[in-house]
Amino acid sequence: MNVRMLVKRSLAGAALGLAATMALPAGATPNEQYFPMIGWRTGPLTPLGVNVAAGWIDYMDLLNKRDGGINGVKLTWEECETAYKVDRGVECYQRLLRNGPTGASAYNPISTGVVYALLDRTTTDKVPIVTIGSGRTDTTDGSVFPFVFPLGTNYLSTNTVKIKFIGMQEGGMDKLKGKKIVNLHMDSAGGRETIPLLDAQARKYGFEVTHISVAMPGSEQQSAWLEIRRIKPDWVILREWGVAPAVALKTAEKTGFPLNRIVGVPFAGTEDDLIPAGSSAKGFYVVHPMPTGEFPVTQEIRKHLYAGGNKGNLQDMSRMGLIYYNMGLTYGVLNTEAVRTAQKKFGNKPLTGEQIRWGLENLNLDEKRLRELGVWGLVQTIRTSCRDHEGGGAAKVYQWDGAKLVQVSDWIMADKAITRPLIEESSAKYAKEKGITPRDCSKE
Amino acid sequence: MFYREAGQYKTAYATDQRIFPILQDRAAFTALMVAAFVVIPVTGNDYWFNGLLIPLLILSLATLGLNILTGYAGQISLGSAGFMGVGAFAAYNFMLRVDGMPILGSFVLASLCAALIGVLFGLSCHRIKDFYLIVATLGSQFFIEWVLTKFAWLTDYNPSGVITAQKIVILGVAFDTPMRRYLLVLTIVVLMTLAAKNVMRSAFGRNCMAVRDMDVAAEVIGINVFRTKLTAFAMSSFYCGMAGALWAYAYVGTVEPQAFDLDRSLQILFMAIIGGLGSIMGSFLGAAFVMLLPIVMNMAGSAMFGHSIDAGIVANVEHIIYGALIIWLLIVEPHGLVRLWQIGKEKLRLWPFPR
């Protein structure tokens, strides 16, 4: 786009904006459901921000163009740039809170830091936050966190899937006894989150776990891997993200640790992390609650948004069907299905954040519904309740073959018997600190 | 014409020593205070308080703290965010571990803790200065961040290492709405700013400036250089500590050590430089420029373009314009925004015939 066009457009846009604000008569509420999007297209995690936003916007756009919105209610959205900074995220939250005819439907901050900062505010402002594949694990307990929804699979669940997968590789959970597992984690809030869980599982299954921390941002891991070489573990859990996983895999290769004995968290093994590593990361396992690949819904998006020279929100078409884009699709599916669920109770009109909160808490996506939406295999079955805001808890395991992620297991369900007490302990502590009386879920 | 002081006679020492010797300035300051304490709380909304004003005031306070050290005493520091972190975590632990601790008391104690840590790291200024001191303060930044993540006791064994700040209750009044929190922050910032202004006009402030301008000469005329530098470190860290506690309690409500990383230190240093080193007012102008300009540009960008072009292009263009503006500003006026303000005042004084 040349400068002249940019200036022209900006002037026209400004005039349009002014005209729109002046022309809108008071009282006439447009039939629209408004989604605030606090994300980023600049900063350290640009690929994540750009592609998730693209998937999410494309899905909402698909519903608008193909179905005319949700039961006649058109979807609208507005982006606010945070550059992955917490304070900018809080500012964006406040800025978009009351926009649209009924205010913000639900926030999906993606960034864990922003989730923590918004925890209290959402309860007072009566707007739900949805944290798919990120956020704070104990918010799964909906009796203490009525407005927070870590839909899909939380960090603890993903971690139990890893242990289950390791058990499967060893030939049964009883074979874990006496095995040595190293938990190589980032030295940050999210990085330390699984330590108590792994300790509990180590006691239960009789394996030995060693926690080794890597200082942010993790560009230097020589000493950590030397220690791993000394311990000689059977498996390494790689709880790293950003620049760290690539460094870890390179260092592992250098120190002679077999890569097919490393299991990574989702953000350690997206295509964006692994393509630069190429064949040197071959054999590395990753657990993904939001899978890679193309699904019927992807074809629909290609047909309705991209066919005939049209453009959707995705600039680089080679990204379609990759993890980040599919994450965006999942955000789109779960948020809009919550709107649909809430409409059944409150009517087919623009809904408030509080009404959508009800929809999020009563989601029921079974195989039939997921097939109807064309997302079977992409989105796991999810059923939420007051007690359980996670609703799912499964993940698939992939292995990097040097060029792409190859699925090596179907959905593996998390071991909730072991995560639930930890979640309840943590949420009870939060409730006590904050003076929150938990809701009685039997009455909901 | 507007800033003519003609006819305003000073007949007592007290009038001569005023912060604002000219009537026009006093009137403008009073108007500003009335606006901040009365008009804004009545007319503002939650977005103004939570999204803009509270963080702006807190960052201004931190910038002011750095300005005392860097602008007045000439010791460049890259450790401001670390000291903010000390303030935030210390306030949390005082509230958690001392029964019946009043919140303001814990803020003050936390700031004193930050001051103490500041003095400890400031000890190195006895031997080193300039670039070497920058590196030493950079070390303090990383050291504090490391301590806050390493020792779980500091975060009350919270597995994720994130503080949930306690509620603010002062004399039975809960500061639970954005407007009340804004008033609390505003009061603290105004009081501490007045204190800083007066301290910097005292003998200590003049000692600081003497040390900044030439430490050998300062020593020759009998100023204890080491003690002056250390006091400046203490005072600066006290201000940063208070800013950190307010950031945790009055702004985000939860705090993780990453909120006080090197980026924040650099941001505060830029605020001080762009606003004008060695100026109280510059701290506020600089904080406003660095914090608000990206937000204003972001709003303008999304209002103008909306869905019409890729949001990524808009976001990146904002960064480019912002960077260009800073470079342009520092070329045109290396002494910062406050110098522009002074030039403006001077021109108004000579108006309608300004040079």
Distance of alpha carbon A169 from alpha carbon A165, whole angstroms: 6
| CB neighbour burial string for A263-284, b if at least 16 within 10 angstroms, e if fewer | bbbbbbbbbbbbeebeebbbbb
Give the model's pLDDT for residue A15: 46
Q: What is the mean pLDDT of residues A407-412?
A: 93
Distance of alpha carbon A135 from alpha carbon A129, whole angstroms: 10
Q: Which residues of A touch B159 (CB under 8 A)?
A: 192-193, 195-196, 426
Best mutation site among A8, A10, A139 for testing chain B: the one with the most B CBs within 10 Å? Answer: A10
Q: Does A433 touch chain B (CB under 8 A)?
A: yes
Asked if residues A363 and A391 have their Cβ atoms less than 8 Å apart, the reply is yes
Give the model's pLDDT for residue B107: 95
Structure tokens at A265: 């968290």
What residues 85-124 of chain A have any CB closer than 8 A to a CB of chain B?
86-88, 90-91, 93-95, 97, 113, 116-117, 119-121
Q: What is the mean pLDDT of residues A12-40?
A: 64
| pLDDT digits 0-9 by tens, B183-204 | 999 999 999 999 999 999 999 9
| pLDDT at A414 exceeding the cut of 60 | yes
Give the model's pLDDT for residue A20: 43
Give the model's pLDDT for residue B226: 93
| pLDDT digits 0-9 by tens, A43-74 | 878 888 999 999 999 999 999 999 999 999 99
**Percentage of residues in chain B having pLDDT higher than 70:** 97
Q: Does B305 touch chain A (CB under 8 A)?
A: yes
Give the model's pLDDT for residue A316: 87
3-class SS of residue A275: helix
Distance of alpha carbon A156 from alpha carbon A327, whole angstroms: 19
- Find out whether the peptide bond into B159 is cis, omega within 30 degrees of 0: no
Distance of residue A47 Cα from the nearest chain B Cα, in angstroms: 11
| pLDDT digits 0-9 by tens, A181-194 | 999 998 877 788 88
Distance of residue A431 Cα from the nearest chain B Cα, in angstroms: 11
Kindly report the average pLDDT of chain A as a whole number.
88
Lowest mean pLDDT among A26-35, A379-388, B217-226: A26-35
Of A157 and B155, the structure prediction assigns the larger pLDDT to A157
Q: Which residues of A touch B305 (CB under 8 A)?
A: 9-10, 13
Q: Does A192 touch chain B (CB under 8 A)?
A: yes
Q: What are phi and psi of A214, to 5 degrees?
A: -120, 125
| pLDDT digits 0-9 by tens, A202-227 | 999 999 999 998 887 888 898 899 99
Q: Which of A14, A53, A188 sits opposite B258 (nearest CB)?
A: A188
Q: Does B239 touch chain A (CB under 8 A)?
A: no
Measured between its terminal Cα atoms, the distance across chain B in Å is 13
- Are residues A90 and B159, on separate chains, in Cβ contact within 8 Å? no
Structure tokens at A176: 């874990």
Distance of residue B32 Cα from the nearest chain A Cα, in angstroms: 24
**Identity of the amino acid at A37:** M
Q: What is the mean pLDDT of residues B284-294?
A: 91
CA distances, A21 to each of A17, A29, A429 (Å): 6, 13, 46
Q: Greatest CA span in chain A, whole angstroms?
A: 72
- Are residues A9 and B305, on separate chains, in Cβ contact within 8 Å? yes
List the one residue out of A396, A407, A394, A391 whose CA is nearest residue A288.
A396
Q: What is the mean pLDDT of residues B245-262?
A: 86
Count A/B contacts: CB-CB distance under 8 Å.
117
Question: What is the chain B residue with the closest CA to A138?
Answer: B160
| pLDDT at B213 exceeding the cut of 60 | yes
What residues 274-313 of chain A have any CB closer than 8 A to a CB of chain B?
313
Q: Which of A10, A53, A90 sits opposite B51 (nearest CB)?
A: A90
Of A19 and B132, the structure prediction assigns the larger pLDDT to B132
Distance of alpha carbon B239 from alpha carbon B261, whole angstroms: 17
| pLDDT digits 0-9 by tens, B303-317 | 777 666 777 788 888
Angle at CA of residue B162, ends A437 and B148, nearest 5°: 145
Q: Which residues of B touch A193 (CB under 8 A)?
A: 159-160
Could you tell me the pLDDT band of residue A4, with boundaries at 50, 70 and 90? low
**Identity of the amino acid at A72:** G
Q: What is the mean pLDDT of residues A241-256?
A: 88
Give the model's pLDDT for residue A13: 46
| pLDDT at B152 exceeding the cut of 80 | no
Distance of alpha carbon A338 from alpha carbon B114, whole angstroms: 47
Best mutation site among B53, B162, B246 for testing chain A: the one with the most A CBs within 10 Å? Answer: B162
| pLDDT at B159 exceeding the cut of 70 | no
Question: What is the chain B residue with the closest CA to A92?
Answer: B51
Q: Which of B164, B303, B308 sits opposite A434 (nearest CB)?
A: B164
Distance of alpha carbon A336 from alpha carbon A356, whole angstroms: 10
- Are residues A315 and B253, on separate chains, in Cβ contact within 8 Å? no
| pLDDT digits 0-9 by tens, A297-351 | 999 999 999 988 888 888 888 899 999 999 999 999 999 999 999 999 999 999 9
Distance of alpha carbon A262 from alpha carbon A281, whole angstroms: 10
Distance of residue B286 Cα from the nearest chain A Cα, in angstroms: 17
| pLDDT digits 0-9 by tens, B8-34 | 888 899 888 888 888 888 999 999 999
Q: Which residues of B touch A430 (CB under 8 A)?
A: 164
List the one residue out of B229, B239, B236 whose CA is nearest residue B123.
B229
Q: Write down the ipTM of this complex.
A: 0.84
**Identity of the amino acid at A221:** Q
**Identity of the amino acid at A112:** T
For residues A302, A308, A312, A316, the Cα torsion angle rounded to the nearest 10 degrees is 80
Residue matched to tokens 């901050």: A109
If one counts every other C-beta atom within 10 angstroms of the C-beta of residue B298, the result is 23
Question: What is the chain A residue with the closest CA to B316?
Answer: A42
Q: What is the mean pLDDT of residues A131-157?
A: 90
3-class SS of residue A382: strand
| pLDDT digits 0-9 by tens, A366-379 | 999 999 999 999 99
Residue matched to tokens 């080491």: B226
Asked if residues A389 and A151 have their Cβ atoms less than 8 Å apart, the reply is yes
List the one residue out of A372, A373, A390 whose CA is nearest residue A427.
A390
Q: Does B299 touch chain A (CB under 8 A)?
A: yes
Give the model's pLDDT for residue A405: 93
Give the model's pLDDT for residue A22: 41
| pLDDT digits 0-9 by tens, B322-336 | 899 889 988 988 898
Structure tokens at B299: 């709003």
Could you tell me the pLDDT band of residue A126, with boundaries at 50, 70 and 90? very high
Question: What is the chain A residue with the closest CA to B143?
Answer: A215
Q: Does B163 touch chain A (CB under 8 A)?
A: no
Interacting residues of A190 by C-beta distance below 8 A, sequence separation 6+: A112, A155, B160
List the one residue out of A338, A372, A305, A374 whose CA is nearest residue A33.
A338
Q: Does A53 touch chain B (CB under 8 A)?
A: yes
| pLDDT at B128 exceeding the cut of 60 | yes
- Are residues A10 and B304, on separate chains, in Cβ contact within 8 Å? yes
| pLDDT at B45 exceeding the cut of 70 | yes
Domains of chain B: 44-350 (1.10.3470)
If one counts every other C-beta atom within 10 angstroms of the C-beta of residue B320, the result is 9
If one counts every other C-beta atom within 10 angstroms of the C-beta of residue A227, the result is 13
Domains of chain A: 30-153+294-392 (3.40.50.2300), 155-288+396-418 (3.40.50.2300)
Distance of alpha carbon A50 from alpha carbon A34, whole angstroms: 20
Q: Does B260 touch chain A (CB under 8 A)?
A: no
Q: Does B167 touch chain A (CB under 8 A)?
A: yes
Q: Greatest CA span in chain B, whole angstroms?
A: 67
Distance of alpha carbon A424 from alpha carbon A413, whole angstroms: 20
What residues 143-182 of chain A have any CB closer than 8 A to a CB of chain B?
none
Question: What is the chain B residue with the closest CA to A47?
Answer: B312
Give the model's pLDDT for residue A9: 52
Please state the pTM of the whole predicted model.
0.86
- Are residues B304 and A90, on separate chains, in Cβ contact within 8 Å? no
| pLDDT at B138 exceeding the cut of 70 | yes
